[in-house]
Structures are given as C-alpha cells and as structure tokens.
C-alpha cells in the first residue's frame, strides 16, 4: 500500500474518519464490482464469466486489446483479467498502455496465462500486472486471487480519499491557526509595550508591588508573543508558504553575530557561548533571516537547558560543498525514548529549562523545516562526556 | 533630542495609537493628531500639514497603501513611516516604492521603535 506523508496523521490522532475506514477493512463490498475480461478465446471468457457472475461481479468482455482500451475509459472497471496472446497488440502492451494513461489509478491487471513459464509471469509483472491466473482455471484459486486484488484496490482508494480529507482538514486548521495568531498579535504587542511604559516609570513612579505587577504583565505578554510567532511560523510553513530567498552569504559572519547577541542573554545565567571560527570561509546559499532564526533557536536552547555557569561551544566545520554548524551544550542530553519526538511540533521533552525560561515545543520543529527547505539536515547527538550536540548541515 | 514637528498617527486600533502615542511623547512630541482610518488621515493632513506621519497598512474604510498614494500626490515634504504587523516583504516594498521613508513592525520592543523613529527624523529633517 502506498502511504504518503499525510497518512502519518492516522497513527497520531486517529480521527473518527480513520477509524471508520479501518473498520470497513473486513467488510469491503465486492458484489457489483466491474471486471473487464480480455481474451480472444470465447470459451475462456464463458468459464471465467460464470465463475465471477455467481459471486455478483459485473462482467464486460473484449476479444482484442484495442477494443479493451476503447472500452476501458467509459467502463472504469475495478479489475482487469487479461490474456497474454491476443490477435492485435498483446496483453503486456495493453497493460503498459493502461499504466501509462491512468498511472496509479489504473485498475489492477491480472494476467491469464496457459504457460506457467516464469518468463511470461515476470514480463507480466514488469508490465504492471499485479498477479496471474493459470489456465486451466481452478475456481477457488481464481476467485481468491481476484478477491484479494479487488480488496487491495478498494482499500487503496479509501486510503487515498482519507489522506485527501485529512490534508484538507490540516490546511483548514493551519489557516485558522494563522488567522488567530495574527489577530492576537497586535493587541498583545500593545499590552507588552504599555506594560513596558508602566514599569520603566515613564508615566509615573510605581510602588514596588505595582512594579512587580507591571513586570509580570510584561513578561507574560512577551512569552505569549513568542509562542504566537512560533505558531504563525508553523502555520505558514505547513501551508507551504515558507518562502526561502537564497543568496550566497558567509555562514561564519552570521553565526558570529548570533553568538554575540545570544551571549548578552547567556550572561544572566552566568553562561558563556564560545565560538571557534572555521578554517575556510563557509559561503552558503541561504536565507539569512531564516538561518539566523535557526541559530538563535539552537543557541537559546543550549543556554536554556544547560545549568547556570555552563559553557556552550559553537563550531563551524566542513568544506565546500557542505558546511556544518555544531552547538554543544552541557545540559542533561536527550533520553533515548524521546529522540524520535525531538523535531516534531509541540514536543517539549522531559528536560526543563534551568532558569525558569519558557519552552513552546515548536522551536526545533521550525528549525527542521527551515533547514530541510535549504536541502540540509539537522541532527542531535548525546555527547559521551555529557550534554548534547545539535548540528545543522547546509549545502553550499 | 526633542521633536517639535506635528505628527499624525494613523491606526484603526486604539491600543496601538495609545502605545505608539506614548513613544511619540517620549520622543518629545507635543502636537499629535490621531486618525482611525486613511480617509480621516487625508482630511487631517490637508488641514494640519503634519511633518511626520505614522501610517498603519491594514485599516477599514481606506487602507494605508491608498492613503500613502494620496498623501504623496499632495506632497513629498512630510516623512511617512509605515506601521506593519507582519514583515510582509511585498507590502513593505510596495510602500517604499510609493514614497514611504521607513517601516516599523508594531510588535517591535518600544526602545527599538523609538530608535527607528529618531533615525527617520534625523534622515528626513536634519539635512535641511
């Protein structure tokens, strides 16, 4: 069964629609399904037809490949039974043609073959056939094979419809999320700004108790703004609107600047970020603002999860055509059973910030999406001496 | 540095006008006019000829881009700073090409907004 990325949602949330489709698995209705039989031998057709009609299948027949192709589009059969040797184009060619015209939507083709020679079977499967039925027909075997492939086809269709449904629902969710975050942002920014005016005394001196309240309002609205910004990022990225404007830049300059800025906050925790420049100037085609976002996230995480007084090491390595930035912290590392969740949306793991900082659980998910949009990779490795190394690889 | 010119502050949201208004007072401004939409902004512009305009982009009745067009058709003298909510590249580029002097994201911390306004004022007025 072909599963696309969207199918993962089923295992995560099990929405009601998914459950219904799964329950249907055992009760797929096969009666009334349309089967197209292509054979130039009328006796074969008659035998197959009588076997199938007893089961309630609807039969259409064709005695050449050309006729079958003509009939196919109007009929839209659920399954095709096809003889190999036909007067005009042969069964393999018809099968290939159906694949070419209808792709994955083409009905499964089962070859009817007198010769049980493996060459024939292999060629049939290579042409896109799903199975073969040997002549002379054994009723039970033929029916069993047909039933399995019909069931597969129907389940596949249900799966596809379900994936489409979930994709639409996911898009609607992202749109709503985006709108909500967007509309909440301006008022929050004003609340934060007004609280800032209160606490810095511009509009009059506050008592210590009042100052404490103003500080709380400021900090709370600040962390809500961060959360909203990350929600918006996720929503736009998921909606496929992550616009990357790649231009060649020196990665080392960018990293150095980020280290400098993050050190200002790190000092409050008595933590130091130490940067070792690379041997070669790492010129990378990248979206500066997005990669800066990734670096800020990795650096602030490293500070956030390391105990006060730690040292965070940042190192650029690699040569053209790919460069690496590694950020090593002195935090608790990532428990083995949480590794797989690390880069997923809304995943805050058991590790807690060591200085009361906030974690939204979206930062690393956004980092992964940005790095992947640059055709790069992001990884996390626990270090033998303790702590964790986050590393991004970016192609030049 | 005190700014003594007339300022017109245009935004449909009262809380934004209050927040930005406080920043303008910190800047030393004494004459501040406010408008909740582009239409009223143009009316005030014609009556008062302010030197600096802070102009929101998304507003009911008449948006900031249209207002920018109309004011720039009347005068190229005043400084215009766009107030945006999200850094939308296209909108910003359009506004700058239509004659806006700068833009400020409304979720920027107040000290940065203050610095950006001082810079714009320095660029637009001290040369004269």
Where in chain A are the domains? 5-166, 170-238, 247-395
pLDDT at site A16 = 46
By the 8 A CB rule, do A97 and A119 touch?
no
Residues B27-81: pLDDT tens digits?
Answer: 888 889 999 999 999 999 999 889 999 999 888 898 889 999 999 988 888 889 9
Is B107's CB within 8 Å of A191's CB? no
Rounded mean pLDDT, B82-88: 76
pLDDT at site A349 = 61
Is A189's CB within 8 Å of B19's CB? yes
Residue of chain A minimizing CA distance to B17: A190
How far apart are the CA of B83 and the nearest CA of chain A, in angstroms?
Answer: 11
Give the global pTM: 0.53
pLDDT at site A10 = 37
Q: Does domain A5-166 have CATH number 3.40.50.720?
A: no
Q: Which residues in chain A are contacts of B110 at CB distance < 8 A?
A: 193, 196-197
Q: What is A32-87 written as a DSSP string?
A: T-EEEEE-S-HHHHHHHHHHHHHTT-EEEEESSHHHHHHHHHHH--SEEEEES--S
pLDDT at site A386 = 85
pLDDT at site B111 = 84
pLDDT at site A191 = 93
How far apart are the CA of A382 and the nearest CA of chain B, in angstroms?
Answer: 36
Domain covering A247-395: architecture: 2-Layer Sandwich (3.30)
Angle between helices B38-48 and B64-74 (to 10 degrees): 20
Give me the residues of chain A with pLDDT under 70, please. 1-28, 115-117, 234-241, 345-353, 355-361
**Does A206 contact chain B (CB < 8 Å)?**
no
pLDDT band per the 50, 70, 90 thresholds, residue B128: very low
Q: What Rg do the C-alpha atoms of chain A give, in angstroms? A: 31
Q: What gap in Å lies between CA A76 and CA A92, rounded to an integer?
A: 19
Please name the fold of domain B6-123: Rossmann fold (3.40.50)
Kindly list the domain boundaries of chain B, sorted by start residue. 6-123
Which candidate from B13, B16, B107 shows the least CB-CB separation from A225? B107
User: Three-state DSSP class for A338?
Assistant: helix
Among A178, A182, A193, most B C-beta atoms within 10 A, so best to mutate, is A193
Which residue(s) pair with A326 in the sheet? Answer: A315, A391
Chain CA centroid to CA A40, Å: 47
pLDDT at site A351 = 67
Which bin fits A286, alpha (ψ -120 to 50), beta or left (φ > 0)?
beta
Number of H helices, E strands in chain B: 5, 5
The reply to whether A5-166 and A247-395 are identical in fold is no
């Amino acid at each position: 069964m072909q599963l696309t990325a969207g199918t993962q949602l089923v295992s995560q949330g099990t929405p009601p629609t998914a459950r219904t489709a799964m329950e249907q698995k055992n009760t797929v209705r096969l009666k009334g399904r349309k089967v197209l039989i292509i054979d130039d031998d009328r006796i074969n057709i008659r035998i197959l037809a009588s076997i199938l009609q007893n089961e309630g299948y609807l039969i259409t027949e064709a005695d050449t490949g050309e006729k079958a192709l003509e009939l196919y589009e109007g009929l839209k059969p659920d399954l095709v039974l096809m003889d190999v040797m036909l007067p005009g184009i042969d069964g393999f060619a018809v099968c290939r043609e159906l694949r070419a015209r209808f792709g994955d939507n083409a009905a499964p083709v089962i070859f009817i073959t007198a010769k049980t020679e493996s060459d024939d079977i292999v060629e049939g499967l290579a042409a896109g056939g799903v199975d073969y039925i040997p002549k002379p027909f054994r009723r039970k075997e033929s029916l069993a094979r047909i039933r399995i492939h019909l069931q597969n086809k129907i389940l596949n269709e249900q799966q596809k419809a379900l994936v489409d449904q979930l994709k639409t629902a996911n898009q609607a969710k992202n749109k709503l999320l985006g709108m909500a975050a967007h509309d909440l942002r301006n008022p929050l920014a004003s609340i934060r700004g007004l609280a800032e005016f209160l606490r810095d005394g511009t509009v009059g001196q506050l008592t210590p108790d009042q100052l404490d309240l103003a500080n709380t309002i400021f900090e709370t609205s600040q962390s809500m703004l961060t959360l909203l910004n990350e929600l918006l990022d996720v929503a736009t990225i998921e909606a496929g609107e992550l616009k990357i404007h790649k231009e060649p830049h020196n990665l080392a300059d960018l990293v150095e600047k980020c280290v400098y800025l993050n050190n200002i906050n790190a000092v409050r925790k008595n933590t130091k970020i130490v940067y070792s420049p690379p041997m070669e100037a790492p010129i990378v085609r990248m979206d500066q603002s997005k990669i800066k976002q990734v670096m800020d996230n990795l650096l602030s995480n490293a500070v956030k999860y390391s105990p006060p007084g730690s040292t965070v090491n940042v190192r650029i390595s690699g040569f053209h055509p790919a460069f690496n930035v590694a950020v090593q912290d002195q935090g608790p590392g990532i428990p083995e059973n949480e590794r797989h969740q690390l880069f997923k949306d809304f995943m805050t793991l058991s590790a807690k910030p060591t200085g009361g900082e906030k974690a939204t659980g979206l930062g690393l998910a956004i980092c992964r999406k940005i790095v992947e949009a640059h055709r790069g990779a992001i990884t996390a490795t626990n270090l033998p001496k303790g702590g964790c190394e986050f590393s991004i690889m970016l192609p030049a | 540095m005190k700014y003594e010119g007339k300022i017109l502050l245009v935004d449909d949201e009262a809380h934004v006008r209050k927040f930005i208004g406080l920043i303008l007072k910190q800047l030393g401004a004494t004459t501040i006019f406010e408008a909740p939409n582009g239409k009223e902004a143009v009316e005030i512009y014609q009556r008062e000829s302010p030197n600096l305009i802070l102009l929101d982009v998304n507003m009911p009745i008449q948006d900031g881009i249209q207002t920018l067009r109309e004011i720039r058709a009347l005068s190229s003298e005043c400084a215009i700073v766009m107030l945006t909510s999200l850094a939308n590249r296209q909108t910003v580029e359009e506004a700058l090409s239509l004659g806006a002097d700068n833009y400020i994201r409304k979720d920027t911390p107040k000290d940065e907004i203050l610095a950006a306004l001082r810079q714009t004022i320095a660029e637009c007025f001290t040369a004269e």
